[in-house]
Amino acid sequence: MTKLSEQQRLAREAARGHGVAGASQFGYQQHSIPSSDAFMADPDALTPEQESALEEQLREEEREANEREELREQSRASIQRRADLLRAEGYADAQATPDPFDPETTKHRPEWWAHSFAHAEQAKGGGYDIMPDDYTPGMTEGRALSGNRRTHRIKYEGAGVQLRMPSATSIRKYAKELKGRTFDVPVEANTPAGTVMGHVRITPGPNGTWSVSGVRMPDGRNEYVSEAVQAILEDRRPSLALAQTQDLLERRRERLFAAGTKQAPPKYASTFIEGIGYNQYSAEMTFNLSGRQYGYKVPPDVAKNMLTSSNPGRAYAALIKGKRRRFDVVECPKCRRFINEDTADMHQCHTGHRTPTRAIKFHRAQILEAITGKLTSRQREQKGARESP
């Protein structure tokens, strides 16, 4: 039999002598093992198969713990590299990394916030707001950058995703304070596509809708995380939002299917095509032809040829007119997108993200100071103005 580590040996003895409850303090969870009542009736009742399963589980937990510790070491090194870059340049793009922590636990709070600070976007000459690490109602004494209590982080779980971020209540309240401006929020997640820690960019929209996107997150993980955060913010009971969602990617497809098209002038000038737009999720293309709206069902390859043609009028006649199923188009008066009239009742407006201001935000200046230990002259002036009575 494989030799066990001391932790594994203690867990096995706890399972034998004290039932599953005794083993749990060593990180053991019950899997295909008799009930605690069976253990108490006969402490040595572990069969060879059950003992083997327990040992395998403990080895897997130890492997995962070692992987997390290795990722935390990488996080510390990455924070140092980012600090050096910010000292030298004063700005840096956001960076998403594999999650060095675990959404399941609230441990490693200082390291969690330090990692999120160091990997946030520090745009040149301004940028988006970042949700503060002290956004709590009471603003009591604590360990945030300001000396106040840290923002409360909540775990949300369901649809194959575990996610930890500032609570939906605090995000909504902060959005009201910003009066509709776009801002970034730190998040960590386990997804079917892998783990990730970074930021999501959030913008409140009309009728309780939100626009959410991962900031430089890798494909796959971005779709899961951004859709999960959006589902949480749009639900009246955020804690149940993911548990009530069967498939996040299907939710995303359905939402984008009904989003309609955003039109723009064709890449090359045309005498009669004033605007053109395409929705890859619904395979619908809309045209503004001399002031009148037309819609067609168009497959992606044909849409690509239409959008990139150097002669849009000729491409329209050859690829679209009389060759594709046509539908009536209506314009949404709120978001100004063009929608298939047959599916207009499914449409929900999503405004997208707003342009950031050029002002250097106070909390962003705090973060930069915490990472690098210094401020630019402009940041010192703004910080002094904010702190003056």
Q: Which of 215, 217, 208, 243 is nearest to 228 (CA)?
A: 243
d(CA 249, CA 223) in angstroms, rounded, equals: 7
d(CA 89, CA 374) in angstroms, rounded, equals: 12
Residue 365 confidence (pLDDT) above 70: yes
pLDDT for res 356: 87
Cβ proximity of 150 and 109 under 8 Å: yes
pLDDT for res 158: 97
- Annotate 166-227 with three-state secondary structure: ECHHHHHHHHHHHCCCCEEEEEEEEECCEEEEEEEEEEECHHHCEEEEECCCCCCHHHHHHH
Reading the block at residue 386, the tokens are 């904010």
- C-alpha angle 261/264/266, rounded to 5°? 120
pLDDT for res 385: 55
| Helices of type H across 25-126 | 36-41, 48-89, 109-118
Query: Which of 27-36, 135-144, 196-205, 319-328 has the least mean pLDDT?
Result: 27-36
- The band of 369, judged by pLDDT with boundaries at 50, 70 and 90, is confident
Query: Which of 7-21, 254-268, 276-290, 371-385 has the least mean pLDDT?
Result: 7-21
Residue 325 confidence (pLDDT) above 90: yes
List the beta bridge partners of residue 201: 184, 213
Report DSSP letters for 142-165, one per residue.
-SSTTSBPPPPEEEEEETTEEEEE
Residue 22 confidence (pLDDT) above 70: no
Query: Which of 13-22, 225-234, 288-297 has the least mean pLDDT?
Result: 13-22
d(CA 214, CA 225) in angstroms, rounded, equals: 7
Residue 294 phi/psi, 5-degree rounding, is -135, 145
C-alpha pair distances (Å), 91 with each of 50, 84, 230, 272, 369: 55, 11, 28, 45, 12
Beta pairing class for 194-204 and 210-214: antiparallel
Residue 121 phi/psi, 5-degree rounding, is -70, 130
Residue 117 confidence (pLDDT) above 60: yes
The separation between the first and the last C-alpha atoms of the chain, rounded to the nearest angstrom, is 70
Residue scoring higher pLDDT (301 or 358): 301
pLDDT in tens, 32-78: 444 444 444 454 567 888 888 888 888 888 888 888 899 999 999 99
pLDDT for res 288: 97
pLDDT for res 2: 45
Residue scoring higher pLDDT (99 or 25): 99
d(CA 54, CA 369) in angstroms, rounded, equals: 48
Residue 169 phi/psi, 5-degree rounding, is -60, -45
Residue 102 confidence (pLDDT) above 80: yes
